[in-house]
Amino acid sequence: MVSILDKLLTAKAEQILFQSTKHGDITAGNIRSMAAQMEEHISTEQLRTYVYARSAAVWCAAYLASALKNCNIVLLPQCGADYLKMVGVQSSDLISDAVDEAISPDWSGIQPDANIDSDVTQDPNLIFFTSGSSGTPKEIFKPVSLIESEARIWQNSFAGNCDHIAGTVSHQHVYGMIFRIALPILSGAIGEDEMALSWEALMHSVTDKTLVVSSPAHLTRLPEPSSVAENRPAFILSSGGPLSPEASFETRDVIGVQPIEIFGSTETGGVAWRQRKTADEAWTPIEGAELSIGNDGELLVQSPFIEDKSSMKMGDRVDFQADGRFRLLGRMDRIVKVEGKRVSLPRVEEVILSHPMIEECAVLMTSMEGRERLSALVVLNDEGKSELGKLRSFKFSRYLRRHFVEMLEPAEFPKRIRFVPSIPVNSQSKRVLGNLKELFECVRILDVLKSAEVSADRFSAHLTFEILDDLPWFQGHFKDNPVLPGLSQTHMAVRLAEEIWSVEPANMNVSRMKFQKVLVPGDVVDLKIEYKPDTQKIVFAFSRGEDKISSGTVG
């Protein structure tokens, strides 16, 4: 059976594998030429190569060069200096097109083809770093043959209906690797070389035979219907985390395609899929996967995509139907003890999400003054954000407590609620517990300003406060004549909008910026902030008496 390695070694030099907005068509011969460049920098004594590539073609060249040197390949989910230090990787030992000191291809020197040793029979291991929910990197070994087996299942499913693959996810994890690397190479479909950073950019390349590889994080940030191209894709995939019914059906309405959701993990690969007709659509096991239920109600899986053929526990409670499909009932590891009572975090989240003003939530245990407390991050819809602005955080939390009093027992109600514009996920669209906890420790701008007077209505707020000499933004601006920087004023306005309405701008583009006078310690200023929900823009203006200080728009 033809493998990825076979294709990279033997495909005709002129066969197009990927297309790039930067480099045009990228052929099999181009990739072999890149691999020849990289091979020179890989020692025969190395057992591993570390790879982080934005370009799918660069990743393929790194894979080929590593296979030629009999090295396993470690895929890093990110390449920041702190992360590289945490996992013990020197920049000079990394193959990457995103790090200056790393081994990187010279695009100007890439040839139409290269003569390289094709007598390679090794099935390399891919080593993924996955953090799960803890944030601590953990190595997962997978032979490339297992990735290929899963890709072939989907190749058969899409046969004849897909000749182009684009995505908004990285190929540096299992899901992206299967669909943005393995599937195009094995099927002959042309892949986009880099992931799209926005739906607007992605939709320009879409045809009616495009497979879009996406995630819940991107499917909750859909473009305006007016910006969507006339051609709709053939398929949209979503994996890496739960996709809400609302996001699934909105995707159908905006893009014209109901997403196919894939359930699984880095260890197991894909386990099941569904394409919703109803909000509570059951999951169908993927071909070849044998699913069962343990004595404690936990999902067990045997799969051709797992090297160990024994049953693997998934950590999810399930309920099977007579037709072999199943519904998820929540994570086994999300049961905590609060005041001696067992509390199901998924149940609390389900109750909170039943409120008509709440779009998303995450319930977790946090530490406060040495005590573990049940806490919740809550994302509101526009109606909820408006009410939050009028009632403010404390009163709105009390309102929610009264609303849920008949649905949650006292031990189940979160003692701390933090209203946030969105719940953060990592590069694999997973919630990392450490990142969620950090949101409860962030210093509030309103606390920094201390005596600020705030009045707010529906997305319009007026604040009056004194510029205190101990504000952190004075550091470095300037010792003898401190001045509040204009960038700090913009930052204050955006963060205050977040605290008042739990909103964030559509992006960090700034426009109509004016800085007319300086602010110094002792000044008493008025700040007016408006949030435009239809465009997600934040408009602000600082003034001091009759003097206009600064103004602008973010988003």
What is the C-alpha separation between 30 and 491, in angstroms, rounded?
45
The helix/strand/coil state of 261 is: strand
Percent of the chain with pLDDT strictly greater than 90: 58
CA–CA distance, 20 with 184 (Å, rounded to integer): 14
Instruction: State the pLDDT confidence band at 137, using cuts at 50, 70 and 90.
Output: low
- Cβ–Cβ < 8 Å for 241, 255: no
At 335 the pLDDT is: 78
- Confidence grade of residue 551 (pLDDT, cut at 50, 70, 90): very high
Dist. CA 341–CA 205, nearest whole Å: 53
Which one is predicted more confidently, 254 or 121? 254
Summarised one tens digit per residue, pLDDT across range 313-370 is: 888 889 999 999 999 987 777 778 787 677 889 889 989 999 999 999 999 998 877 6
What does the pLDDT average to over 12-33? 96
Peptide bond into 249 cis (omega under 30): no
For 154-186, the pLDDT digits (tens) are 999 998 899 999 999 999 999 999 999 999 999
Domains in the chain, CATH or no CATH each: 335-438 (3.30.300.30), 445-554 (3.10.129.10)
User: In the predicted model, is pLDDT for residue 134 greater than 60?
Assistant: no
pLDDT of residue 340: 67
Contacts of 134 (CB under 8 A, 6+ apart): 432, 433, 434
| Class of residue 279 by CB neighbours under 10 A (exposed 0-12, middle 13-18, buried 19+) | exposed
pLDDT at residue 27 above 90? Answer: yes
Neighbour-count burial of 238, counting CB atoms closer than 10 A to its CB (0-12 exposed, 13-18 middle, 19+ buried): buried
DSSP H or E run through 149: helix 144-158
Write down the mean pLDDT value for the chain. Answer: 89
CA nearest to 255, candidates 282, 278, 226, 294: 226
Query: 320 or 121: whose pLDDT is higher?
Result: 320
So what's the pLDDT on residue 178?
97
With both helix axes pointing from N to C terminus, report the angle between 382-404 and 486-501 in degrees, rounded to the nearest 10: 50
| Confidence at residue 358, expressed as pLDDT on a 0 to 100 scale | 95
Q: Is the pLDDT of residue 497 over 60?
A: yes
Tokens representing residue 289 in the block? 């996967």
Q: What percent of the chain is predicted at pLDDT more than 70?
A: 96
Residue 401 CA to residue 396 CA, distance in Å, equals 9
Q: In Å, how far are 156, 163, 181, 188, 189 from 160, measured between CA atoms? A: 9, 8, 19, 11, 10
pLDDT class of 90 with cuts at 50, 70, 90: confident
Which tokens is 91 given?
Answer: 């920049």
Q: For residue 226, how many C-alpha atoms fall within 13 Å in the half-sphere facing its CB?
A: 0
Please give the Cα distance from 408 to 70 (Å, whole number). 57
Give mean pLDDT, residues 426-432.
72
- 176-234 pLDDT per residue, tens: 999 999 999 999 999 999 999 888 888 888 999 999 999 988 898 887 776 676 778 99
**Distance of alpha carbon 459 from alpha carbon 444, whole angstroms:** 19
With cut-offs at 50, 70 and 90, classify the pLDDT of residue 121: low
Coil, strand or helix: which one is 272? strand
Please tell me which residue, 427 or 345, carries the higher pLDDT value.
345
pLDDT at 131: 56
Dihedral angle of Cα 6, 8, 11, 15, to the nearest 10 degrees: 150
SS3 118: coil
